[in-house]
Amino acid sequence: GDPEPVQDFCVAAPLGVEGKVSLAFPGLPCKPASTVVSDDFFFAAQARAASTDNPNGAGVTPGNVEAFPGLNTLGLSLNRVDLAPGGVNPLHTHPRSAELVHVEAGEMLVGFVSTDGKFYSKVVQEGESFVIPRGMMHFQYNVGAGAARAMTVFNSQLPGVVLAAQSVFGAQPEIPDAVLAKSFQVDAEIIKLLKSKFRKG
Ligand code: GLV
Ligand code: MN
């Protein structure tokens, strides 16, 4: 999890034209307390479903500190995950956080792999939860007949996400085909095919 807060709150100041301010700790700079209002502690973007009209059939609406500045220094955040029937929130890890998956509608297979290679999974129904330890590779897969929805809760204001396929096959500049062919024990042709699917733009 994140460091302990050292004050009541530290609503993140708007980011400058230079882009993201980056401080080692504790996250983003605070705006002056005298300018903080109730709306700084409110976040409405997750009241609506994200589009699932994409190859994965999945839509994630992030509620990390970048979307919801009031979370700065509070050590938590949450995402909304919408899955079309058969949709998958694809394999990924969060380097800075555990994740609690709370299913609000439908049913999904939720699973992760531990460092010793064991796969843990459960079909999780409406109202039920499953927890993914920090850093473990995981997914959610809609195994129900209708749409499915979960809120995922993190003990970090900015859990970070490493998408397995995207980071391996879509990295820019490219990881050499020879490295990937050896790593996955397949021909370079297969690597080129996978790269073509995950290359951006
Ligand atoms: C789901 O795994 C999420 O990261 O929101
Ligand atoms: Mn996740």
26-30, 50-54, 162-166, 187-191: lowest mean pLDDT where? 26-30
Rounded CA Rg of the chain: 19
Cβ of 79 less than 6 Å from ligand 1: yes
The residue whose CB lies within 8 Å of the most ligand 1 atoms, and thus the one to mutate among 56, 61, 79, 93, is 79
The pLDDT tens digits of the residues spanning 136-179 come to 999 999 999 999 999 999 999 999 999 999 999 999 999 999 99
Local confidence band at 28 (pLDDT 50, 70, 90 cut-offs): confident
Could you identify the atom of ligand 1 that is nearest to the CA of residue 161? 4
Q: Establish whether residue 77 lines the binding site of ligand 1, counting it when its CB lies within 6 angstroms of any ligand atom.
A: no
Helix pair 177-184, 188-198: axis angle to 10 deg = 110
Q: How far is the CA of 200 from the centre of ligand 1 (A)?
A: 21
Per-residue pLDDT for 24 more than 80?
no
Q: pLDDT tier at 87 (50, 70, 90 boundaries)?
A: very high
Is the distance from the beta carbon of residue 60 to the nearest atom of ligand 1 less than 6 Å?
yes
What would the DSSP string read from start to end of 111-153? Answer: EEE-TTS-EEEEEEETT-EEEE-TT-EEEEEE-SSS-EEEEEE
The domains found in the chain, sorted by start residue, are 33-160 (2.60.120.10)
- Which of 125, 27, 41, 181 is closest to 195 using CA atoms? 181
pLDDT of 193 strictly over 90: yes
In the predicted model, is pLDDT for residue 21 greater than 70? Answer: no
Pocket test for ligand 1, best of 52, 60, 91, 136 (most atoms within 8 A of CB): 60
* Residue nearest (by alpha carbon) to ligand 1 atom 1: 152
- At residue 19, the pLDDT reads 54
Cβ contact 77:28 at 8 Å: no
- The predicted complex's ipTM stands at 0.98
